[in-house]
Structure 1
Protein backbone atom coordinates (compact mmCIF):
# COMPACT_ATOMS: atom_id res chain seq x y z
CA UNK A 1 0.00 0.00 0.00
CA UNK A 2 1.29 3.41 -0.92
CA UNK A 3 0.60 6.04 1.71
CA UNK A 4 -0.40 9.20 -0.13
CA UNK A 5 -2.01 10.93 2.83
CA UNK A 6 -1.16 14.59 3.31
CA UNK A 7 -0.06 15.30 6.85
CA UNK A 8 -2.14 17.91 8.70
CA UNK A 9 -0.42 21.29 9.11
CA UNK A 10 1.78 21.75 12.16
CA UNK A 11 1.41 25.53 12.26
CA UNK A 12 -1.91 26.21 10.51
CA UNK A 13 -4.77 28.19 11.93
CA UNK A 14 -7.69 26.44 13.62
CA UNK A 15 -9.68 25.86 10.45
CA UNK A 16 -6.72 24.63 8.42
CA UNK A 17 -5.81 22.27 11.24
CA UNK A 18 -9.33 20.86 11.58
CA UNK A 19 -9.62 20.47 7.81
CA UNK A 20 -6.20 18.81 7.62
CA UNK A 21 -6.93 16.28 10.35
CA UNK A 22 -10.36 15.47 8.95
CA UNK A 23 -8.94 14.88 5.48
CA UNK A 24 -6.07 12.82 6.93
CA UNK A 25 -8.55 10.55 8.73
CA UNK A 26 -10.72 10.24 5.61
CA UNK A 27 -7.62 9.18 3.65
CA UNK A 28 -6.69 6.72 6.39
CA UNK A 29 -9.95 4.82 5.89
CA UNK A 30 -9.34 4.76 2.14
CA UNK A 31 -5.82 3.41 2.69
CA UNK A 32 -7.01 0.79 5.17
CA UNK A 33 -9.48 -0.56 2.59
CA UNK A 34 -7.01 -0.46 -0.33
CA UNK A 35 -6.29 -3.64 -2.22
CA UNK A 36 -9.04 -5.76 -0.72
CA UNK A 37 -11.65 -7.73 -2.61
CA UNK A 38 -15.37 -7.08 -2.25
CA UNK A 39 -15.67 -10.23 -0.14
CA UNK A 40 -12.85 -9.10 2.16
CA UNK A 41 -14.42 -5.65 2.56
CA UNK A 42 -17.71 -7.30 3.58
CA UNK A 43 -16.06 -9.72 6.03
CA UNK A 44 -17.52 -9.28 9.52
CA UNK A 45 -15.40 -8.90 12.62
CA UNK A 46 -17.07 -11.71 14.58
CA UNK A 47 -20.63 -12.76 15.28
CA UNK A 48 -23.01 -11.30 16.23
CA UNK A 49 -21.45 -8.02 15.06
CA UNK A 50 -22.16 -6.79 11.54
CA UNK A 51 -19.03 -4.60 11.64
CA UNK A 52 -17.01 -4.75 8.41
CA UNK A 53 -14.79 -2.39 6.46
CA UNK A 54 -17.51 -1.85 3.86
CA UNK A 55 -20.01 -1.22 6.66
CA UNK A 56 -17.68 1.43 8.08
CA UNK A 57 -17.45 3.14 4.68
CA UNK A 58 -21.24 3.13 4.44
CA UNK A 59 -21.54 4.42 8.01
CA UNK A 60 -19.14 7.28 7.34
CA UNK A 61 -21.18 8.28 4.28
CA UNK A 62 -24.16 8.58 6.65
CA UNK A 63 -22.13 10.53 9.21
CA UNK A 64 -20.81 13.00 6.61
CA UNK A 65 -24.30 13.49 5.17
CA UNK A 66 -26.02 13.84 8.52
CA UNK A 67 -23.67 16.37 10.05
CA UNK A 68 -22.78 18.52 7.07
CA UNK A 69 -25.84 18.39 4.83
CA UNK A 70 -28.66 17.77 7.29
CA UNK A 71 -27.36 19.77 10.29
CA UNK A 72 -25.01 22.51 9.03
CA UNK A 73 -26.60 23.12 5.61
CA UNK A 74 -30.16 22.36 6.81
CA UNK A 75 -30.90 20.16 3.80
CA UNK A 76 -33.97 17.95 4.00
CA UNK A 77 -32.34 14.78 2.68
CA UNK A 78 -32.92 11.23 3.90
CA UNK A 79 -30.16 8.99 5.15
CA UNK A 80 -28.20 7.25 2.40
CA UNK A 81 -28.96 3.66 3.45
CA UNK A 82 -32.20 3.94 5.42
CA UNK A 83 -35.43 5.64 4.38
CA UNK A 84 -36.79 5.35 7.93
CA UNK A 85 -33.79 6.97 9.67
CA UNK A 86 -32.11 3.84 11.06
CA UNK A 87 -28.43 4.79 11.38
CA UNK A 88 -27.50 1.15 12.07
CA UNK A 89 -28.63 0.02 8.61
CA UNK A 90 -25.38 1.25 7.06
CA UNK A 91 -23.32 -1.23 9.06
CA UNK A 92 -25.01 -4.26 7.48
CA UNK A 93 -22.97 -4.66 4.32
CA UNK A 94 -23.89 -8.27 3.50
CA UNK A 95 -25.57 -7.39 0.22
CA UNK A 96 -23.77 -4.08 -0.24
CA UNK A 97 -22.13 -3.05 -3.46
CA UNK A 98 -18.54 -1.80 -3.10
CA UNK A 99 -18.76 0.79 -5.89
CA UNK A 100 -22.07 2.13 -4.61
CA UNK A 101 -20.71 2.45 -1.05
CA UNK A 102 -17.48 4.19 -2.04
CA UNK A 103 -19.27 6.43 -4.56
CA UNK A 104 -21.81 7.52 -1.92
CA UNK A 105 -19.05 8.17 0.60
CA UNK A 106 -17.00 10.20 -1.90
CA UNK A 107 -20.11 12.18 -2.88
CA UNK A 108 -20.89 12.98 0.75
CA UNK A 109 -17.28 14.02 1.44
CA UNK A 110 -17.44 16.35 -1.57
CA UNK A 111 -20.67 17.91 -0.26
CA UNK A 112 -19.10 18.25 3.20
CA UNK A 113 -16.02 19.99 1.80
CA UNK A 114 -18.15 22.44 -0.19
CA UNK A 115 -20.33 23.22 2.83
CA UNK A 116 -17.32 23.73 5.10
CA UNK A 117 -15.45 25.89 2.59
CA UNK A 118 -18.52 28.05 1.92
CA UNK A 119 -19.09 28.76 5.62
CA UNK A 120 -17.74 32.18 6.60
CA UNK A 121 -16.44 30.88 9.94
CA UNK A 122 -16.34 27.90 12.27
CA UNK A 123 -18.99 29.66 14.34
CA UNK A 124 -21.68 28.95 11.72
CA UNK A 125 -24.38 26.85 13.36
CA UNK A 126 -26.91 24.35 12.17
CA UNK A 127 -29.75 22.59 13.91
CA UNK A 128 -30.39 18.88 14.28
CA UNK A 129 -34.07 18.55 13.37
CA UNK A 130 -34.45 15.42 15.44
CA UNK A 131 -34.09 17.27 18.75
CA UNK A 132 -33.55 20.96 17.94
CA UNK A 133 -29.97 21.08 19.22
CA UNK A 134 -27.75 23.70 17.57
CA UNK A 135 -24.19 22.74 16.61
CA UNK A 136 -21.33 24.90 15.37
CA UNK A 137 -19.30 23.94 12.33
CA UNK A 138 -16.31 23.79 14.70
CA UNK A 139 -18.03 21.12 16.80
CA UNK A 140 -19.12 19.19 13.70
CA UNK A 141 -15.57 19.08 12.37
CA UNK A 142 -14.22 17.98 15.76
CA UNK A 143 -16.93 15.34 15.99
CA UNK A 144 -16.10 13.99 12.53
CA UNK A 145 -12.40 13.78 13.43
CA UNK A 146 -13.33 11.85 16.57
CA UNK A 147 -15.72 9.61 14.64
CA UNK A 148 -13.11 8.79 11.99
CA UNK A 149 -10.37 8.25 14.59
CA UNK A 150 -12.52 5.78 16.51
CA UNK A 151 -13.64 3.91 13.41
CA UNK A 152 -10.15 3.93 11.89
CA UNK A 153 -9.09 1.98 14.97
CA UNK A 154 -11.85 -0.52 14.23
CA UNK A 155 -10.79 -0.59 10.58
CA UNK A 156 -7.18 -1.31 11.51
CA UNK A 157 -8.26 -4.34 13.57
CA UNK A 158 -10.58 -5.53 10.79
CA UNK A 159 -7.79 -5.23 8.22
CA UNK A 160 -5.36 -7.11 10.45
CA UNK A 161 -7.90 -9.94 10.71
CA UNK A 162 -8.20 -10.12 6.93
CA UNK A 163 -4.58 -10.16 5.79
CA UNK A 164 -2.35 -9.22 8.71
CA UNK A 165 -1.72 -5.65 7.54
CA UNK A 166 -1.49 -3.27 10.49
CA UNK A 167 -0.47 0.25 11.28
CA UNK A 168 -2.14 2.20 8.50
Structure 2
Protein backbone atom coordinates (compact mmCIF):
# COMPACT_ATOMS: atom_id res chain seq x y z
CA UNK A 1 0.00 0.00 0.00
CA UNK A 2 1.37 3.41 -0.98
CA UNK A 3 0.15 6.97 -1.03
CA UNK A 4 1.33 10.18 -2.63
CA UNK A 5 -0.48 12.39 -0.11
CA UNK A 6 0.54 13.44 3.36
CA UNK A 7 -1.62 11.68 5.89
CA UNK A 8 -2.08 11.39 9.63
CA UNK A 9 -1.29 7.67 9.54
CA UNK A 10 2.36 8.19 8.66
CA UNK A 11 2.07 7.59 4.91
CA UNK A 12 3.80 10.26 2.80
CA UNK A 13 5.36 10.73 -0.61
CA UNK A 14 4.70 7.25 -2.06
CA UNK A 15 6.35 5.53 0.90
CA UNK A 16 4.97 2.12 1.93
CA UNK A 17 2.43 2.16 4.71
CA UNK A 18 3.95 1.12 8.02
CA UNK A 19 1.53 -0.05 10.72
CA UNK A 20 1.77 1.82 14.00
CA UNK A 21 3.58 -0.09 16.75
CA UNK A 22 0.37 -0.75 18.66
CA UNK A 23 -1.34 -2.60 15.78
CA UNK A 24 -1.76 -6.39 15.82
CA UNK A 25 0.17 -8.20 13.09
CA UNK A 26 -1.27 -8.29 9.59
CA UNK A 27 -0.58 -12.03 9.39
CA UNK A 28 0.46 -13.71 12.62
CA UNK A 29 -0.37 -16.58 14.92
CA UNK A 30 -3.56 -16.72 16.96
CA UNK A 31 -1.70 -15.74 20.12
CA UNK A 32 0.00 -12.83 18.31
CA UNK A 33 -3.37 -11.58 17.07
CA UNK A 34 -5.09 -11.91 20.44
CA UNK A 35 -2.29 -10.15 22.33
CA UNK A 36 -1.85 -7.59 19.54
CA UNK A 37 -5.55 -6.71 19.54
CA UNK A 38 -5.52 -6.38 23.32
CA UNK A 39 -2.45 -4.14 23.22
CA UNK A 40 -4.04 -1.86 20.60
CA UNK A 41 -7.09 -1.46 22.85
CA UNK A 42 -4.90 -0.72 25.87
CA UNK A 43 -2.87 1.91 24.03
CA UNK A 44 -5.99 3.55 22.62
CA UNK A 45 -7.72 3.58 26.01
CA UNK A 46 -4.66 5.07 27.71
CA UNK A 47 -4.54 7.79 25.04
CA UNK A 48 -8.25 8.53 25.29
CA UNK A 49 -8.12 8.84 29.07
CA UNK A 50 -4.66 10.36 29.45
CA UNK A 51 -3.57 13.76 30.70
CA UNK A 52 -6.75 14.75 32.51
CA UNK A 53 -7.06 16.69 35.74
CA UNK A 54 -9.52 16.09 38.56
CA UNK A 55 -12.35 17.86 36.74
CA UNK A 56 -11.73 16.01 33.49
CA UNK A 57 -11.66 12.63 35.23
CA UNK A 58 -14.95 13.44 36.97
CA UNK A 59 -16.86 14.67 33.89
CA UNK A 60 -20.14 12.94 33.10
CA UNK A 61 -22.43 13.23 30.09
CA UNK A 62 -26.21 13.02 29.90
CA UNK A 63 -27.88 10.83 32.50
CA UNK A 64 -24.85 8.54 32.80
CA UNK A 65 -22.75 8.50 35.97
CA UNK A 66 -19.73 7.07 34.16
CA UNK A 67 -16.52 9.07 34.44
CA UNK A 68 -13.08 8.68 32.95
CA UNK A 69 -11.71 8.10 36.43
CA UNK A 70 -14.22 5.33 36.99
CA UNK A 71 -13.36 3.70 33.68
CA UNK A 72 -9.65 3.81 34.47
CA UNK A 73 -10.09 2.23 37.90
CA UNK A 74 -12.55 -0.36 36.61
CA UNK A 75 -10.29 -1.51 33.78
CA UNK A 76 -7.30 -1.59 36.13
CA UNK A 77 -9.28 -4.02 38.26
CA UNK A 78 -10.34 -6.08 35.28
CA UNK A 79 -6.71 -6.39 34.19
CA UNK A 80 -5.72 -7.57 37.67
CA UNK A 81 -8.53 -10.11 37.95
CA UNK A 82 -8.22 -11.55 34.45
CA UNK A 83 -4.45 -12.01 34.68
CA UNK A 84 -4.28 -13.16 38.30
CA UNK A 85 -7.08 -14.72 40.34
CA UNK A 86 -9.04 -15.99 37.35
CA UNK A 87 -5.98 -17.76 35.91
CA UNK A 88 -4.25 -19.12 39.00
CA UNK A 89 -6.46 -18.35 42.00
CA UNK A 90 -3.98 -15.86 43.48
CA UNK A 91 -5.00 -12.82 45.52
CA UNK A 92 -5.65 -9.68 43.48
CA UNK A 93 -3.77 -7.57 46.02
CA UNK A 94 -4.80 -4.10 47.10
CA UNK A 95 -6.95 -2.13 46.73
CA UNK A 96 -9.02 -4.96 45.27
CA UNK A 97 -8.73 -7.56 48.01
CA UNK A 98 -10.21 -5.38 50.75
CA UNK A 99 -12.66 -3.41 48.60
CA UNK A 100 -16.26 -3.37 49.92
CA UNK A 101 -17.73 -5.08 46.85
CA UNK A 102 -20.78 -6.40 48.72
CA UNK A 103 -21.59 -3.12 50.47
CA UNK A 104 -20.92 -0.61 47.68
CA UNK A 105 -22.39 -1.24 44.25
CA UNK A 106 -19.89 -0.62 41.45
CA UNK A 107 -17.23 0.28 44.01
CA UNK A 108 -14.47 0.52 41.40
CA UNK A 109 -16.43 3.10 39.41
CA UNK A 110 -17.72 5.13 42.35
CA UNK A 111 -14.58 5.16 44.50
CA UNK A 112 -12.45 6.63 41.71
CA UNK A 113 -13.61 10.12 42.66
CA UNK A 114 -11.63 9.77 45.89
CA UNK A 115 -8.38 9.11 44.02
CA UNK A 116 -6.06 11.72 42.53
CA UNK A 117 -5.23 11.64 38.82
CA UNK A 118 -1.73 10.47 39.70
CA UNK A 119 -3.11 7.58 41.76
CA UNK A 120 -5.52 6.49 39.04
CA UNK A 121 -2.98 6.55 36.24
CA UNK A 122 -0.39 4.75 38.37
CA UNK A 123 -2.93 2.11 39.38
CA UNK A 124 -3.87 1.45 35.76
CA UNK A 125 -0.33 1.44 34.40
CA UNK A 126 0.85 -0.96 37.11
CA UNK A 127 -2.11 -3.27 36.49
CA UNK A 128 -1.40 -3.41 32.76
CA UNK A 129 2.31 -4.06 33.26
CA UNK A 130 1.57 -6.86 35.71
CA UNK A 131 -1.10 -8.35 33.44
CA UNK A 132 1.20 -8.34 30.42
CA UNK A 133 3.84 -10.26 32.35
CA UNK A 134 1.40 -12.76 33.88
CA UNK A 135 -0.43 -13.42 30.64
CA UNK A 136 2.79 -14.03 28.73
CA UNK A 137 3.93 -16.45 31.44
CA UNK A 138 0.60 -18.27 31.40
CA UNK A 139 0.69 -18.60 27.62
CA UNK A 140 4.21 -19.99 27.81
CA UNK A 141 3.04 -22.57 30.34
CA UNK A 142 0.00 -23.88 28.52
CA UNK A 143 -1.21 -21.84 25.56
CA UNK A 144 -4.71 -20.58 24.90
CA UNK A 145 -6.48 -23.89 25.50
CA UNK A 146 -5.34 -24.39 29.10
CA UNK A 147 -7.91 -24.68 31.87
CA UNK A 148 -7.82 -21.74 34.29
CA UNK A 149 -8.76 -21.36 37.95
CA UNK A 150 -12.01 -19.58 37.07
CA UNK A 151 -13.28 -23.02 36.05
CA UNK A 152 -13.50 -24.06 39.70
CA UNK A 153 -15.14 -20.79 40.70
CA UNK A 154 -18.00 -21.15 38.18
CA UNK A 155 -18.01 -24.98 38.02
CA UNK A 156 -17.53 -24.89 34.25
CA UNK A 157 -14.52 -25.43 32.01
CA UNK A 158 -13.00 -22.04 31.15
CA UNK A 159 -9.95 -21.66 28.91
CA UNK A 160 -7.35 -18.92 28.88
CA UNK A 161 -8.58 -18.11 25.39
CA UNK A 162 -12.03 -17.25 26.75
CA UNK A 163 -10.47 -15.17 29.52
CA UNK A 164 -8.46 -13.10 27.06
CA UNK A 165 -11.44 -12.55 24.81
CA UNK A 166 -13.45 -11.39 27.83
CA UNK A 167 -10.70 -8.86 28.56
CA UNK A 168 -10.81 -7.65 24.95
CA UNK A 169 -14.59 -7.36 25.20
CA UNK A 170 -14.28 -5.19 28.33
CA UNK A 171 -12.04 -2.75 26.48
CA UNK A 172 -14.25 -2.75 23.38
CA UNK A 173 -17.26 -1.84 25.50
CA UNK A 174 -15.60 0.90 27.51
CA UNK A 175 -13.62 2.54 24.72
CA UNK A 176 -16.93 3.74 23.29
CA UNK A 177 -17.73 5.33 26.63
CA UNK A 178 -14.29 6.93 26.74
CA UNK A 179 -14.76 8.33 23.22
CA UNK A 180 -17.94 10.15 24.23
CA UNK A 181 -16.69 11.43 27.58
CA UNK A 182 -13.35 12.66 26.19
CA UNK A 183 -15.09 14.62 23.45
CA UNK A 184 -17.25 16.26 26.12
CA UNK A 185 -14.19 17.11 28.23
CA UNK A 186 -12.02 18.88 25.68
CA UNK A 187 -13.24 18.05 22.18
CA UNK A 188 -10.60 15.39 21.52
CA UNK A 189 -11.77 12.88 18.93
CA UNK A 190 -10.07 10.28 16.77
CA UNK A 191 -9.72 6.58 16.18
CA UNK A 192 -6.05 6.12 17.05
CA UNK A 193 -3.32 7.88 19.03
CA UNK A 194 -1.14 10.25 17.00
CA UNK A 195 1.00 8.34 14.57
CA UNK A 196 4.62 8.15 15.83
CA UNK A 197 7.09 10.42 14.07
CA UNK A 198 9.31 8.65 11.56
CA UNK A 199 12.91 8.44 12.73
Cα distance between partner residues in 2 of 1:34 and 1:77 = 24
Cα distance between partner residues in 1 of 2:54 and 2:21 = 23
Cα distance between partner residues in 2 of 1:5 and 1:11 = 15
Which of the two has higher C-alpha Rg?
A: 2
Tell which deviates more after alignment, 71-80 or 57-66.
71-80
Conserved? CA contact 1:55–1:90, under 8 Å: yes
Conserved? CA contact 2:87–2:148, under 8 Å: yes
**What's 1:35 paired with?**
51
Cα distance between partner residues in 2 of 1:35 and 1:58 = 15
**What's 2:145 paired with?**
123
Task: Report how far residue 60 of structure 1 moved.
Answer: 0.2
Tell which deviates more after alignment, 80-89 or 155-164.
80-89
Cα distance between partner residues in 1 of 2:136 and 2:154 = 26
Gaps of 5+ in 1: none
**What's 1:135 paired with?**
158
Tell which deviates more after alignment, 108-117 or 143-152.
108-117
SS across alignment from 1:7: coil
**What's 2:26 paired with?**
10
| TM-score between both structures, scaled by the size of structure 1 | 0.86
Task: Report how far residue 134 of structure 1 moved.
Answer: 3.9
Conserved? CA contact 1:126–1:135, under 8 Å: yes
Task: Report how far residue 138 of structure 1 moved.
Answer: 0.8
Conserved? CA contact 2:52–2:117, under 8 Å: no
SS across alignment from 2:119: helix
When residues 34 and 101 of structure 1 are mapped into structure 2, their CA distance, relative to the original with a 3 A threshold, is: closer
| TM-score between both structures, scaled by the size of structure 2 | 0.74
Aligned length: 166
**What's 1:89 paired with?**
107
Gaps of 5+ in 2: 1-7, 10-19, 192-199
Tell which deviates more after alignment, 38-47 or 113-122.
38-47
CA RMSD of superposed structures (Å): 2.3
**What's 1:148 paired with?**
171
Cα distance between partner residues in 1 of 2:69 and 2:39 = 19
Of residues 121, 125, 133 in structure 2, which corresponds to 1:102?
121
